[in-house]
Structure 1
Amino acid sequence: MIVADTSRWFKWLFRHYNEKYLLQRYFHGIELIGELDPAPPGQPVIYMMNHSSWWDGLIVFHAVMRASSREHFMMMDEAQMSRYRFFRKIGAFSIDKTSTHGIRESLQYSEQLLKSGHGIWLFPQGDIKPLEQRPLQFQSGLGYLLRRNPEVIVQPVTAYYSLGLHQKAEVSLMCGPPMLDNELQVDRRHISNVLQSKLERQLDAHRQLVIVASGDRLTGAKSLIPTRRSINERFDAWRNGVAKWTSFFGR
């Protein structure tokens, strides 16, 4: 497996590239509902999130750099990470899902990170799935980690992407109530089922918030990125300006 090799200067550099070039170029807005730090530093946290887009990892990295004081790590598919090895510099580590040994090795590495009091991000669906696919269908690795690390807090996070009034997409992250070990003390498969149901309900509630907002800011959300006008907004502003000048000279 490929282990994380975090670098403060690379994180700083990549943070600015990610925000100023990638995210502002492709997203109209990025919002966060809730808090990314459900526990004080030193308390291990597993962040479980649905996985519906190639952008998920970059959105999470931006969010934690903006709204968290913890050290975060993220599990990433080994085939992808082999192509983009620089991700290890911002806290990614790999999992080879084609190998039982590879899966075990990555789970053991995850356990080491948790015992060091860090936060790790897992996408328990395993692969990118359509946003509206139900059920979410979790793999059992999350249950394995929780059975062996009862002190861990589980923070459910949902990501919802939408297109509406703007040319660019909008994405929001929602942090639900954290779960403690006394809610999960059963076998690993049952744990996965319980967490799967919880994240699925949260994702459905998240979708409803987006529908109700209808293009406006979500209730209780804070913006994580400066909004830049898309092409349609610049055109509308130009057209309104022309109309004002035409009206002025037509007097």
Structure 2
Amino acid sequence: MVAWFERYLHRHLDALRLPLWSTPPAGDHRGPIVVYCNHPAWWDAALIIVLAGRLYPERASRAPFDAAMLARYRIFERIGAFGVDLGTPRGAAQFLAAARAILAGPDGMMWITAQGRFADARARPLSLRPGVARLAEFAPDALFVPLALEYAFWDERGAEAFAAFGTGIRGSDLAALPRAERLARLEADLTATLDRLSADVISRDPARFRALVSGRKGVGGIYDLWRRVAARLSGRRFDPAHRAVNGNDRAP
């Protein structure tokens, strides 16, 4: 399924980019890893699947999923999602029980869209749900890592997807804080990561990023076929991208 979602990103997006300053947590971390992120778009689940598969193939990644949506998209259940009734005491109990089991092992890994709802990447405050702060109470060996997600249109037909990992905090250090301060710390770390990522996105400079997945360039269809033939007849190499490598705009 990771390969399928990579092809899906390749077909529909221009690229999945990570800023050069972003360092994913080490896969050989001695303990479970909790990656918590904002939730700006439908694409988030696909990005998380690709990031988990490409960066942490040796770990069994799990993720909470709205139970109502999981009933519609059963494929996610087969690749690590578990249902949670959002906004109910029963859902909170489901989340904590599943998290306790997942994080009990040293190679456990959870990916959490911690806002629990779709929200613009620029909206502040992030208003993370409190459940993510509870995990440190029974997973002191876990590493809690913020992941910022954003999308933008640059120069190509497809949108750009961006993902940036921030600096993690150990569960033991997080658990030493009062519960309200834990949530505030997690939210502050994710906000800082989002703000830094947004500054790079606004620059529209691909040199600030590395592409984990690259998408199709050009318009496609008959128009690009005509451009390809014209380039071949004139002895030029055909490049479907709108912007040349040196940064100059290509003719439309």
SS in 1 for 2:76: helix
State yes or no: 1:208 paired with 2:199. yes
Report the alpha carbon displacement of residue 150 of structure 1 after superposing the two structures with TM: 1.6
Partners of 1:38 and 1:234 lie apart in 2 by 45
* Residue pair 1:156, 1:177 contacting (<8 A) in 2 also: yes
Deviates more, 1:156-165 or 1:231-240: 231-240
2:185 to 179, 183, 194: 194
Partners of 1:130 and 1:108 lie apart in 2 by 30
* Residue pair 2:218, 2:224 contacting (<8 A) in 1 also: no
1:171 to 161, 165, 168: 161
- Provide the residue aligned with 1:7 in structure 2: none
Partners of 2:29 and 2:113 lie apart in 1 by 22
Partners of 2:148 and 2:77 lie apart in 1 by 23
The 1:78/1:162 distance shift into structure 2, 3 A limit, reads same
1:169-203 superposed Cα distances (whole Å, 9 cap, x missing partner):
00111111221235422122211111111101110
* Residue pair 2:157, 2:217 contacting (<8 A) in 1 also: no
Partners of 1:181 and 1:114 lie apart in 2 by 11
* Residue pair 1:36, 1:64 contacting (<8 A) in 2 also: no
Partners of 2:206 and 2:73 lie apart in 1 by 34
Partners of 1:223 and 1:56 lie apart in 2 by 17
Equivalent AA in structure 2 for residue 228 of structure 1: R
Q: 1:65-214 maps to which residues of 2 (within 5 A)?
A: 65-69=53-57, 70-117=59-106, 118-184=108-174, 185-212=176-203, 214=204
Gaps of 5+ in 1: 1-13
Report the alpha carbon displacement of residue 240 of structure 1 after superposing the two structures with TM: 8.5
Partners of 1:36 and 1:134 lie apart in 2 by 24
Count of residues in Structure 1 that have an aligned counterpart in Structure 2: 231
2:26 to 25, 38, 46: 38
Please, what TM-score do these two structures have when normalized by structure 2? 0.82
- Provide the residue aligned with 2:14 in structure 1: 28
Report the alpha carbon displacement of residue 235 of structure 1 after superposing the two structures with TM: 4.8
Partners of 2:132 and 2:181 lie apart in 1 by 11
Equivalent AA in structure 2 for residue 199 of structure 1: L
1:88-133 superposed Cα distances (whole Å, 9 cap, x missing partner):
1111111111420222122111111001231101111111111211
SS in 2 for 1:231: coil
* Residue pair 2:27, 2:55 contacting (<8 A) in 1 also: no
* Residue pair 2:64, 2:82 contacting (<8 A) in 1 also: yes
- Provide the residue aligned with 2:217 in structure 1: 229
Equivalent AA in structure 2 for residue 106 of structure 1: F
Partners of 1:114 and 1:240 lie apart in 2 by 53
Report the alpha carbon displacement of residue 38 of structure 1 after superposing the two structures with TM: 2.9
* Residue pair 2:9, 2:215 contacting (<8 A) in 1 also: no
SS in 2 for 1:24: helix
* Residue pair 1:167, 1:232 contacting (<8 A) in 2 also: no
Larger relative helix fraction: 1
Gaps of 5+ in 2: 237-252
